[in-house]
A and B are shown apart, each in its own frame.
Chain A
Amino acid sequence: MTVFYLGLALFLLLTLFAGMWRILRGPDDADRMLAAQLFGTTAVAILLLLAEAMDTPALRDVSLVFALLAAVAVVAFVRLSWSPTADNTRNDG
């Protein structure tokens, strides 16, 4: 079973690498951000698999932290860099 878990984790790692192509190509900033969000979910799955494969239940806590913070980057992106009115904002900084 350990080899099976590890093999699946490896497979997910490979899909993550494939997703890098979307960051390279874009075309829009949002497309790149979507890839990052998919990576977050993939990392959660990889960590859950590794928790079994490496017999370290603590890895579920790492996975929990990823799941908790999965939205931070996307929310920051939408609110700060990509809001529709980003071009006519006040500038008092």
Chain B
Amino acid sequence: MVSQAVTIVLLLAGAGFFLAGTLGLLRFPDVYTRLHSLTKADNVGLGLMAAGLAVQAESWAAIGKIALIWLLVLLASATGAHLVARSALRKGIKPWTL
């Protein structure tokens, strides 16, 4: 029962980050701020969900696979965010200011 409670808490927290990431993608004013919100969903949201599901996993191999999936998404989102931000700067898109 404890493990189920842990899973539920972690999954709900992860879903919250996905919601926040999507809201940020929709509401933030420019490409840099949107990158910021979106990478939160990638990193923290998926991380919490992966942790929550790993608690329920049937074997160590399954836990390893879930961890690998999370690490791969981390790598992809960090690289993607860097590439998009660098291109945006070089294209002369000005970061949003108040």
Q: Do A and B bind each other?
A: yes
Partner of B25, one of A34, A63, A78: A34
- Chain B contact residue count (CB 8 A cutoff): 46
Known contacts A38-B38, A67-B69; decide if A30 and B25 are in contact (CB<8 Å).
no
Chain A's interface size range is 35 or more
Q: Which of A18, A45, A84 has the most CB of B within 10 A?
A: A45
What are the residues of chain B within 8 A of A12 when measuring CB–CB? Answer: 15, 18
Report A24 CB to chain B, min CB distance, Å. 11
Residue of A nearest to B88 (CB): A30
Report A76 CB to chain B, min CB distance, Å. 11
What are the residues of chain B within 8 A of A40 when measuring CB–CB? Answer: 76
Chain A 1-24 against B: per-residue CB contact (8 Å), 1 yes, 0 no? 100110010011001101101100
**For the complex, what is the distance from the CA of A84 to the CA of B70, rounded to whole Å?**
31
Docked-complex contact B18 and A45, CB < 8 angstroms: yes
Residue of A nearest to B71 (CB): A67
Docked-complex contact B31 and A28, CB < 8 angstroms: yes
What are the residues of chain B within 8 A of A15 when measuring CB–CB? Answer: 18-19, 21-22
Flag whether B83 is at the interface (Cβ < 8 A).
yes
**For the complex, what is the distance from the CA of A37 to the CA of B93, rounded to whole Å?**
20
In the A-B complex, the 8 residue pairs with the smallest Cβ-Cβ separation, listed nearest first, are A70-B76, A84-B90, A71-B76, A67-B72, A74-B80, A15-B22, A78-B83, A67-B69
